[in-house]
């Protein structure tokens, strides 16, 4: 296969995003796509470095439920999950239920590159972070007033699930995972996903985001996918892997994403969103919630949206 056009695609979570967060959400994914593409478009830019950089941008943006801006669990604490994966050798790093870490995706990459493991959780992940010299930040640096407000309103997990997820179908509201997929000039793909979970979740609860095959999956033979939505539903159908399975049958990337979400809704009644890219650089994005901010860049062209019918395009100014 000849040289592939470097392409990156970002999502900022599929849920019933309130009107007052729409602009910040769209701006956030556009910035993250630009950050990731600036890495990807270098002469030796890699998809892995690009998705990490894009997710770091989103984790540091309080508009999103990942890193700074993450929601609070039942105990009023921040518990963060993330995954990063590359498609050449299927190397993966994942962390779950970590606290006081500004960029969980960076810690996930350290798991991938500095251990023989795929996933570390809880106290063990925080101990590993200290060993790697990853600085801890106080909880106050990660918590926003909006997160506190949501926690006070939904102090019990079952109430949050009922009010946020059971509006029409599970996952229609209340989830704000961030994700990225990319392909570089060498044809290598990568994915990354990061989240703070759901407000009021039970202490120790882990959703789909850090689970290989659920929150993200990639393989150079097929492509890459990152998911968002009702975590328990996504886990039951291995949504990210399902998208790539659909690509493997010969479906376009867009149709593969649509069919995967249709299956999840029909099979387990869950809603969510998917971004995907195949090994030719063709993208797909779909969501069954009210809104999902997304942005993609290829050949110096930025495309983005948040509503189901949105598809805006801007030509980037070369620096």
Positions marked catalytic: 177
Q: Which of 198, 160, 167 is CA-nearest to residue 271?
A: 167
How many Cβ atoms sit within 10 Å of the Cβ of residue 256? 26
Distance, CA of 254 to CA of 135 (rounded, Å): 40
Distance, CA of 272 to CA of 262 (rounded, Å): 10
How many Cβ atoms sit within 10 Å of the Cβ of residue 300? 12
In degrees, to the nearest 5, what angle opens at C-alpha 19 toward C-alphas 239 and 164?
Answer: 45
Burial bucket for residue 288 (CB in 10 Å: 0-12, 13-18, 19+): buried
Distance, CA of 223 to CA of 221 (rounded, Å): 6
Distance, CA of 191 to CA of 91 (rounded, Å): 11
CA-based max dimension of the chain: 54
Q: Which of 85, 75, 78 is CA-nearest to residue 55?
A: 85
Q: Is 92 helix (H, G, I), strand (E, B) or coil?
A: strand
Burial bucket for residue 131 (CB in 10 Å: 0-12, 13-18, 19+): exposed
Cβ(165)–Cβ(147) under 8 Å?
no
């Amino acid at each position: 296969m000849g040289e592939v056009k470097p392409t990156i695609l970002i999502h900022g979570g599929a849920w019933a995003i309130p009107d007052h967060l729409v602009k910040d959400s769209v701006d956030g994914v556009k910035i993250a796509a630009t950050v990731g593409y600036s890495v990807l478009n270098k002469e030796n830019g890699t998809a892995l470095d690009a998705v990490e950089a894009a997710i770091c941008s989103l984790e540091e943006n309080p508009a999103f439920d990942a890193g700074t801006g993450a929601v609070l669990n039942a105990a009023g604490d921040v518990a963060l999950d993330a995954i990063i994966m590359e498609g050449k050798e299927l190397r993966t790093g994942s962390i779950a239920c970590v606290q006081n870490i500004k960029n969980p995706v960076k810690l996930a990459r350290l798991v991938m590159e500095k251990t023989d493991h795929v996933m570390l959780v809880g106290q063990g992940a925080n101990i590993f972070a200290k060993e790697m010299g990853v600085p801890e930040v106080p909880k106050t640096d990660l918590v926003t007033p909006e997160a506190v407000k949501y926690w006070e309103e939904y102090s019990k997990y079952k109430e949050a699930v009922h009010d946020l997820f059971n509006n029409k179908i599970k996952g229609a509201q209340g989830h704000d995972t961030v994700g990225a997929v990319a392909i570089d000039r060498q044809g290598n793909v990568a994915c990354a996903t990061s989240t703070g979970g759901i407000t009021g979740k039970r202490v120790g609860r882990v959703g789909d985001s850090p689970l290989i095959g659920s929150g993200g999956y990639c393989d150079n033979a097929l492509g890459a996918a990152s998911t968002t939505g009702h975590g328990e539903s996504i886990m039951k159908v291995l949504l990210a892997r399902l998208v790539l399975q659909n690509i493997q049958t010969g479906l376009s990337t867009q149709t593969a994403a649509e069919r995967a979400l249709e299956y999840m809704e029909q099979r387990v009644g869950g809603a969510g969103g998917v971004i995907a890219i195949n090994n030719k650089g063709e993208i797909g994005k779909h969501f069954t919630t009210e809104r999902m901010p997304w942005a993609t860049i290829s050949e110096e062209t930025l495309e983005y949206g948040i509503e189901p019918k949105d598809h805006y395009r801007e030509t980037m100014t070369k620096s």
